Amino acid sequence: MGGDFGPSVVIPGAAIALGRHPDAEFLLFGDSALIDKELAAHPALKKVSRVVHTDVAVSMHDKPSQALRRGRKVSSMWLAIEAVKKGEADVAVSAGNTGALMAMARFCLRTLPGIDRPAIAATWPTVRGDSVVLDLGATIGGDAAHLKALAVMGAAMASVLFDLERPTVGLLNIGVEEIKGGEEIREAAELLRAMQSPPFEFIGFVEGDGIGSGAADVIVSEGFSGNIALKAAEGTARQIIQLLRDAMSRTWSAKIGYLFARGAFRALRDKIDPNKSNGGVFLGLNGIVVKSHGGTNADGFAYAVDVSYDMVRYDLLTKINQTLNRETGALVSTPSAQEAVS
């Protein structure tokens, strides 16, 4: 029920994802009248879905504390997350209020042993392919141990998504020199260098322009800087598209040139379209939760489901725990079942 458009985007998006993952099944939490109306247009999805009715939905404007107080145990968002906790679903996917989703997920699922705070991780298009960037705004600030944990979780996600045995990891910093940056980021670099045979290669510091150039498979940042980087990149992508549109429509010769180059422009637009890299994974929880952009379209929501499917298929939680176990002696079991969507 979350996001800007609710079931009118979530249901068609799930139907698109089902076409790519025919073995998936869905639990759909929310207003059954609205959900059933959308499901009627997608018989294949309806066949593999179960609708769980609730009248309570978390608003996009609710504060996390309000959402927890009013929506705990009754809202579509809570019920989707709880399905993961109960083992009825492998992963919860939501386009709803980010702060509320994080608060509920953390309260319901708890964090993994050895993880102090969860993080939001997502794929980022670069000139070399895609990278994983985290934290994109789950929490603000973080000490060296927190940044180290982000590196471990981000590397596990990159190995799942990109089929890499030892992904490269860089720390986002204001310079690549070892003397640059705050004390916590320099300490984090020392902790990462001191790890014994980690399943990733730490390459040191990466500056902001290194994100887009693909300097590392995983870029680690605390949430404040990571969120600013994300919003700046998304704004720049929209700006580039608008500037190209304006330039191509300015003169007749430009319009003719566009006709010859429109394939290249379409490829550029697809590459920097935020919908194509939709789906932020909440890492560090004892269960998998994926956050879709609230304003995404059906194709974008389908990409979020794709990400969630891969996280389960390639056993993300086990990969994270294998590394955490070597570092802290902590190991946790993983749930299994269906997809849960609120």
pLDDT digits (tens, 9 = 90+) for 47-95: 999 999 999 999 888 888 888 888 888 999 999 999 999 999 999 999 9
Q: Is the pLDDT assigned to residue 316 strictly greater than 70? A: yes
For domain 116-276, give its CATH number from 1.10.490.10, 3.40.718.10, 3.40.50.10790, 3.20.20.10.
3.40.718.10
What residues have CB less than 8 Å from 95, skipping those under 6 apart?
A: 2, 3, 4, 9, 10, 291, 292, 293, 294, 296, 301, 304
Other beta carbons within 10 angstroms of residue 253's beta carbon come to 8
Comparison of pLDDT for 126 and 202, the residue scoring more: 202
**Scanning the structure block, which residue is given the tokens 């990109």?**
162
Number of Cα atoms under 13 Å in the Cβ half of residue 121: 36
Q: Is the pLDDT assigned to residue 237 strictly greater than 90? A: no
For residue 34, name the pLDDT band (cuts at 50, 70, 90): very high
Terminus-to-terminus CA distance in the chain, angstroms?
Answer: 6
**pLDDT, average across residues 179-207:** 91
Q: What is the predicted pLDDT for the residue at 31?
A: 96
Q: How far apart are CA 147 and CA 239, in angstroms?
A: 32
**Helix %, strand %, coil % for the chain, to 5?**
50, 20, 30
Tokens standing for 321? 């725990």
For CA atoms 139, 141, 144, 150, give the dihedral sign.
positive
For residue 239, name the pLDDT band (cuts at 50, 70, 90): confident
DSSP string, 15-74: HHHHHH-TT--EEEEE-HHHHHHHHTT-HHHHHTEEEEE-SB---TT--HHHHHHHHTTT
Q: Is the pLDDT assigned to residue 295 strictly greater than 60? A: yes
pTM of the model: 0.84
Residue 324 phi, psi dihedral angles, 5° rounding:
-60, -35
Nearest by Cα to 142 from 183, 105, 177: 183
Class of residue 55 by CB neighbours under 10 A (exposed 0-12, middle 13-18, buried 19+): exposed
Residue 175 phi, psi dihedral angles, 5° rounding:
-170, 165
For domain 1-115+284-342, give its CATH number from 3.40.50.2300, 3.20.20.70, 3.40.718.10, 3.40.50.300.
3.40.718.10
Mean pLDDT estimate for the chain: 87
Q: What is the predicted pLDDT for the residue at 315?
A: 85
Q: How far apart are CA 204 and CA 189, in angstroms?
A: 7
Number of Cα atoms under 13 Å in the Cβ half of residue 328: 17
For CA atoms 215, 216, 221, 224, give the dihedral sign.
positive
For residue 30, name the pLDDT band (cuts at 50, 70, 90): very high
Q: What is the predicted pLDDT for the residue at 97?
A: 92
Q: What is the predicted pLDDT for the residue at 328?
A: 53
Domain boundaries, the chain: 1-115+284-342, 116-276
Q: What is the predicted pLDDT for the residue at 272?
A: 62
**pLDDT, average across residues 245-250:** 80
Q: What is the predicted pLDDT for the residue at 169?
A: 96
**Per-residue DSSP letter, 290:** E
* Region at 323 (left for phi over 0; alpha for psi -120 to 50; beta for the rest): alpha
DSSP bridge pairs for 52: 29
pLDDT digits (tens, 9 = 90+) for 116-166: 889 999 888 888 888 999 989 888 888 999 999 999 999 988 988 888 889
Q: What is the predicted pLDDT for the residue at 234?
A: 79
> Are 1-115+284-342 and 116-276 the same fold in CATH?
yes
Q: How far apart are CA 64 and CA 103, in angstroms?
A: 6
For residue 333, name the pLDDT band (cuts at 50, 70, 90): very low
**Per-residue DSSP letter, 127:** T
pLDDT digits (tens, 9 = 90+) for 59-69: 888 888 888 88
Number of Cα atoms under 13 Å in the Cβ half of residue 63: 3
